[in-house]
Chain A
Amino acid sequence: MPSTLKLSQLAVGRRAVVFSFPGQGPAMVRLREMGVLPGTAITLVRTAPLGDPLEIQVRGYSLTLRKSEAEHVLVEPTEES
Chain B
Amino acid sequence: MTDPGQIPPAPARTPVYALVGNPNSGKSTLFNALTGLKQKVGNYPGVTVEKKVGTTYSQHGRPITVIDLPGTYSLAARSPDEGVVRDVLLGRRADTAQPDRLVCIVDATNLERNLYLVHQLLDLGRPAILVLNMMDLTAPAGLNLRVARLEHELGIPVIPCEAVNGKGLLELRLAMSRADLPLSRHRWEIPPAIAPAVAELQASLIENDGKQPLIARAEALLLLTDQDPVRVAGSTPLSEPTAGMLEGWKRRWQGEGVDWSGILVNSRYEAIGRLCAEVVQRAARASPAISDRIDAVVVHPVWGWLVLGVIMTALFLSIFTLAEYPMDAIDAGFAAAGGWVKHAMAPGDLRDLITDGAIAGVGGVVTFLPQILILFFFIGLLESTGYMARAAFIMDRVMSRVGLNGKSFIPLLSSYACAIPGIMATRTIEDPRDRLTTILVAPLMSCSARLPVYLLMIAALLPGDRVSVGTKVSLMLLMYALGTGGAFGFAWLFKKSLLKGAPPLMIMELPPYRLPRMKDVLLQMLERASLFLRKAGTVILGISIVLWFLTTYPKPAGPATPEQQIAHSFAGTAGRVLEPVIKPLGFDWRIGIGLVSSFAAREVFVSSMAVIFSADNYEGGKHGDVTPVRQSLAAARWPDGARLFTPLVCLTLMVYYVFAMQCVSTVAVVKRETNSWRWPLFQVAYMTGTAWLVCLVIYQAGRALGF
Q: Report whether chain A binds chain B.
A: yes
Residues of B within 8 A of A62 (CB): 291, 295, 509-511
Give chain A interface residues in 24-75, CB to chain B under 8 Å: 24-35, 37-38, 46, 48-53, 55, 59-66, 68-69
Give chain B interface residues in 52-102, CB to chain A under 8 Å: 73-74, 76, 78
Residues of B within 8 A of A66 (CB): 396, 400, 505-506
Give chain B interface residues in 107-128, CB to chain A under 8 Å: 109-110, 112-113, 116
Would B113 and A35 count as touching, CB distance under 8 A? yes
Q: Number of residues in B with C-beta < 8 Å to the partner?
A: 44
Given A53-B396, A66-B400, also A59-B299 (CB < 8 A): no
Q: How far is the CA of A46 from the CA of B300 in the complex (A)?
A: 9
Would A33 and B116 count as touching, CB distance under 8 A? yes
CB-CB nearest in chain B for A40 = B269
Chain B 496-516, CB-CB to A under 8 Å as 1, else 0, gives 000000110111111110000
Instruction: Pick the most buried of A46, A48, A59: most chain B CB atoms within 10 A of its CB.
Output: A48
Which 7 A-B residue pairings sit nearest by Cβ, starting from the closest? A50-B397, A62-B510, A32-B265, A66-B506, A33-B74, A49-B301, A26-B228
* Residue in contact with A49 in the complex, picked from B76, B265, B300, CB distance below 8 Å: B300
Would B269 and A37 count as touching, CB distance under 8 A? yes
Would B78 and A61 count as touching, CB distance under 8 A? no
Q: How far is the CA of A70 from the CA of B433 in the complex (A)?
A: 23
9 A-B pairs within 8 Å (CB atoms) are namely A27-B505, A29-B265, A30-B73, A34-B507, A53-B396, A64-B507, A64-B509, A65-B505, A66-B505
Residues of A within 8 A of B73 (CB): 30, 33-34
A contact set with B: CB distance below 8 Å = 21, 24-35, 37-38, 46, 48-53, 55, 59-66, 68-69
Q: How far is the CA of A65 from the CA of B508 in the complex (A)?
A: 7
Would B397 and A59 count as touching, CB distance under 8 A? no
* Chain B: minimal CB distance from A19 (Å): 13
Chain B 295-310, CB-CB to A under 8 Å as 1, else 0, gives 1000111101100000
Residues of A within 8 A of B305 (CB): 49
Would A60 and B265 count as touching, CB distance under 8 A? no
* Chain A: minimal CB distance from B207 (Å): 28
Would B393 and A64 count as touching, CB distance under 8 A? yes
Residues of A within 8 A of B302 (CB): 49
Q: How far is the CA of A28 from the CA of B508 in the complex (A)?
A: 13
Would A63 and B509 count as touching, CB distance under 8 A? yes
Q: How far is the CA of A11 from the CA of B400 in the complex (A)?
A: 23
Would B510 and A51 count as touching, CB distance under 8 A? no
B398 sits at the interface (CB 8 A):
yes
Would A29 and B261 count as touching, CB distance under 8 A? yes
B616 sits at the interface (CB 8 A):
no
* Residue in contact with A48 in the complex, picked from B261, B262, B299, CB distance below 8 Å: B299
Would B505 and A59 count as touching, CB distance under 8 A? no
Instruction: Pick the most buried of A28, A31, A38, A66: most chain B CB atoms within 10 A of its CB.
Output: A66
Residues of B within 8 A of A53 (CB): 393, 396-397, 506
Q: How far is the CA of A31 from the CA of B261 in the complex (A)?
A: 12
CB-CB nearest in chain B for A25 = B227
* Chain B: minimal CB distance from A23 (Å): 11
* Chain B: minimal CB distance from A54 (Å): 9
Residues of A within 8 A of B503 (CB): 68
Q: How far is the CA of A21 from the CA of B266 in the complex (A)?
A: 12
Give chain B interface residues in 188-217, CB to chain A under 8 Å: none
Would A30 and B509 count as touching, CB distance under 8 A? no
* Residue in contact with B510 in the complex, picked from A29, A35, A55, CB distance below 8 Å: A55
Would A30 and B262 count as touching, CB distance under 8 A? no
Would B269 and A35 count as touching, CB distance under 8 A? yes
Given A29-B225, A52-B397, also A59-B112 (CB < 8 A): yes
Give chain B interface residues in 491-540, CB to chain A under 8 Å: 502-503, 505-512
B180 sits at the interface (CB 8 A):
no
CB-CB nearest in chain A for B285 = A60
Would B112 and A48 count as touching, CB distance under 8 A? no
Would B506 and A65 count as touching, CB distance under 8 A? yes
Given A32-B265, A32-B266, also A64-B506 (CB < 8 A): yes
* Residue in contact with A60 in the complex, picked from B78, B110, B266, CB distance below 8 Å: B110
B328 sits at the interface (CB 8 A):
no
Residues of B within 8 A of A34 (CB): 73, 113, 507, 509
* Chain B: minimal CB distance from A71 (Å): 13
* Chain A: minimal CB distance from B358 (Å): 50
Given A29-B76, A32-B266, A49-B305, also A64-B510 (CB < 8 A): yes
B259 sits at the interface (CB 8 A):
yes
* Chain A: minimal CB distance from B479 (Å): 28
* Chain B: minimal CB distance from A13 (Å): 12
* Residue in contact with A51 in the complex, picked from B262, B393, B397, CB distance below 8 Å: B397
Residues of A within 8 A of B393 (CB): 48, 53, 55, 64
Would A29 and B227 count as touching, CB distance under 8 A? yes
B394 sits at the interface (CB 8 A):
yes
Residues of B within 8 A of A35 (CB): 112-113, 116, 269
Q: How far is the CA of A50 from the CA of B304 in the complex (A)?
A: 11
Would A63 and B269 count as touching, CB distance under 8 A? no
Would A30 and B505 count as touching, CB distance under 8 A? yes
Would A49 and B304 count as touching, CB distance under 8 A? yes
Would B225 and A69 count as touching, CB distance under 8 A? no
Q: How far is the CA of A48 from the CA of B510 in the complex (A)?
A: 12
Instruction: Pick the most buried of A38, A50, A51, A64: most chain B CB atoms within 10 A of its CB.
Output: A64
